[in-house]
């Protein structure tokens, strides 16, 4: 019952925030859509972290959550600057790394560190993981109704894992307070979207989910939990990996933008139907989360096998979608060209 009230509270916070945004930005509801939609999400997460850290009995974890709030605020700041000033990739990456340093150093209070070398390795791994999720969510934010719904499903899964394992209540509180504004956002972000995340929203969502994954692993670091997290976060990890491989193979910069991401290929495959592409990805995420739940309770060896098979299938499906989407695009281009007879009459 407590979490029902937490959910209702977060919905109220999101509604109040939306009203404030409309007052501050009178053009929020014009044809451009509300570009401040990410505010409805990260503000609720920040409030939940602040409220949670004040009642925690574990000082180390409380400090880690406080540092997470600081890092989240800095990540949001980087996103706002990028939305406003269109930062270069170097400026954006430097801002992301700088924003994560408070959390990385705070992890020393959460995880036992035996030496300086161990602390450095742990810090590098932590920052790399968070950068992977932050930029993965940013790359996924290319069509209406995708990243918000993916984030909501993933957070609900993390909430389920928390309840089932009987983990610390404050972590469950953070997850519960994040679901309300996400649900409201998903409703208004479905195609045709009336509200958009912006980098402030996508970067902060990726960071929040990455941090939640770290906290889950801190609570129980074994093969089963690691496999479950890797399965649950297949889409953003696969997005980053395939983007780097695709651009390097084409001889382009890995930071050069394009419209060849997984969701773009699905839109091509469905003949431009954005909603169908987003729905397909959401059904895929539901399946991944079901497999992640099974892996989390399985023997580590079995969980590892499930993870390997899942990733093999994900890569195979990606190759299939890319190939088929390319064929559909080539046919569409070909149909737009004049036939031989038509050229003869010109």
* Cis geometry, peptide bond prior to residue 192 (ω within 30 degrees of 0): yes
Which of 187, 221, 255 is the last residue before a domain boundary?
221
Q: Is residue 116 part of a domain?
A: yes
- Residue 191: is its pLDDT beyond 70? yes
Q: Is the pTM of this model over 0.95?
A: no
Q: Is 117 in the same domain as 193? A: yes
- Residue 339 included in any domain: no
Q: Work out the number of other CB atoms within 10 angstroms of the CB of residue 47.
A: 16
**Total number of domains constituting the chain:** 2
Domain identity same for 328 and 205:
no
On whether both 215 and 270 belong to a single domain, the answer is no
Residue 278 lies in a domain: yes
| Angstrom distance (rounded) from CA 189 to CA 211 | 24
Kindly report, residue by residue over 77-130, the tens digit of the pLDDT. Answer: 898 888 788 888 889 999 999 998 887 777 666 555 566 777 788 888 888 999
> With 50 as the cut, is the pLDDT of residue 334 above it?
yes
- 73 vs 224, residue with greater confidence: 224
Give the mean pLDDT of the chain.
78
pLDDT digits (tens, 9 = 90+) for 205-231: 898 899 889 888 888 888 999 999 999
Do residues 177 and 273 both lie within one domain? no
Reply yes or no on whether the pLDDT at 342 is more than 70. no
- Give me the mean pLDDT over the 2-22 stretch: 64
Considering the domain architecture, whether residues 195 and 248 belong to the same structural domain is answered as: no
26 domain-assigned: yes
Residue 189 and residue 111 share a domain: yes
Residue 341 covered by a domain: no
Domain match, 15 and 138 both? yes
Higher pLDDT residue, 189 or 53?
A: 189
| DSSP string for residues in 138-181 | HHHTTSTTSHHHHHHHHHHHHHHHHHHHT--HHHHHHHHHHHHH
Last residue of a domain, one of 221, 243, 263: 221
155 to each of 150, 173, 326, how far by Cα in Å?
9, 12, 33
Q: Given this model, what pLDDT does residue 33 score? A: 45
CB 100 within 8 A of CB 130: yes
Q: What is the spatial distance between Cα 96 and Cα 206, in angstroms, rounded to a whole number?
A: 12
Residue 97 lies in a domain: yes
Kindly state whether residues 241 and 187 are assigned to the same domain.
no
- Domain limits at 79? 1-221
Instruction: Mark whether 244 and 319 lie in a shared domain.
Output: yes
Which of residues 221, 248, 273 is at a domain's end? 221
What would the mean pLDDT of 290-319 be, rounded to a whole number?
A: 93
Query: Do 267 and 206 fall within a single domain?
Result: no
For residues 33 and 85, state if they share a domain: yes
Residues 303 and 73: their CA atoms lie apart, in Å, by 35
| In-domain check, residue 202 | yes
Q: Is 191 helix (H, G, I), strand (E, B) or coil?
A: coil
- Does a structural domain hold residue 322? yes
By the 8 A CB rule, do 51 and 170 touch? no
Of 79, 191, 180, give the one whose Cα is nearest residue 146: 191
Residue listed under structure tokens 């150093």: 105
Asked if 132 and 188 sit in the same domain, the reply is yes
């Amino acid at each position: 019952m407590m979490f029902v009230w937490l959910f209702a509270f977060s919905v109220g916070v999101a509604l109040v925030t939306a009203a404030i945004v409309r007052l501050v930005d009178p053009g929020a509801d014009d044809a451009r859509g509300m570009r401040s939609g990410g505010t409805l999400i990260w503000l609720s997460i920040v409030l939940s972290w602040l409220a949670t850290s004040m009642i925690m009995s574990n000082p180390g974890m409380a400090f880690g959550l406080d540092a997470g709030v600081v890092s989240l605020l800095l990540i949001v700041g980087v996103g706002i600057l990028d939305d406003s000033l269109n930062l270069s990739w170097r400026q954006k990456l430097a801002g992301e790394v700088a924003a994560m340093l408070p959390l990385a150093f705070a992890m020393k209070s959460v995880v036992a560190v035996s030496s300086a070398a161990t602390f450095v390795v742990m810090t590098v791994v932590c920052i790399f993981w968070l950068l992977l999720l932050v930029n993965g969510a940013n790359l996924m934010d290319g069509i209406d109704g995708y990243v918000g719904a993916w984030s909501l499903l993933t957070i609900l899964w993390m909430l389920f894992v928390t309840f089932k394992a009987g983990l610390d209540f404050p972590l469950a509180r953070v997850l519960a307070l994040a679901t309300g504004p996400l649900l409201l956002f998903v409703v208004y972000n479905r195609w045709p979207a009336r509200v958009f995340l912006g980098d402030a929203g996508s970067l902060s969502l990726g960071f929040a989910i990455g941090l939640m994954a770290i906290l889950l692993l801190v609570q129980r670091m074994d093969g089963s939990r690691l496999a479950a997290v890797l399965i649950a976060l297949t889409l953003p990890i696969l997005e980053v990996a395939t983007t780097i491989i695709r651009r390097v193979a084409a001889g382009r910069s890995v930071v050069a933008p394009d419209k060849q991401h997984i969701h773009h290929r699905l839109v091509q495959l469905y003949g431009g139907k954005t909603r169908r592409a987003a729905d397909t990805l959401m059904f895929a995420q539901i399946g991944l989360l079901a497999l992640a739940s099974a892996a989390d309770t399985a023997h580590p060896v079995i969980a590892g096998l499930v993870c390997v098979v899942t990733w093999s299938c994900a890569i195979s499906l990606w190759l299939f979608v890319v190939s088929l989407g390319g064929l559909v695009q080539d046919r569409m281009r070909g149909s737009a060209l004049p036939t031989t007879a038509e050229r003869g009459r010109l």
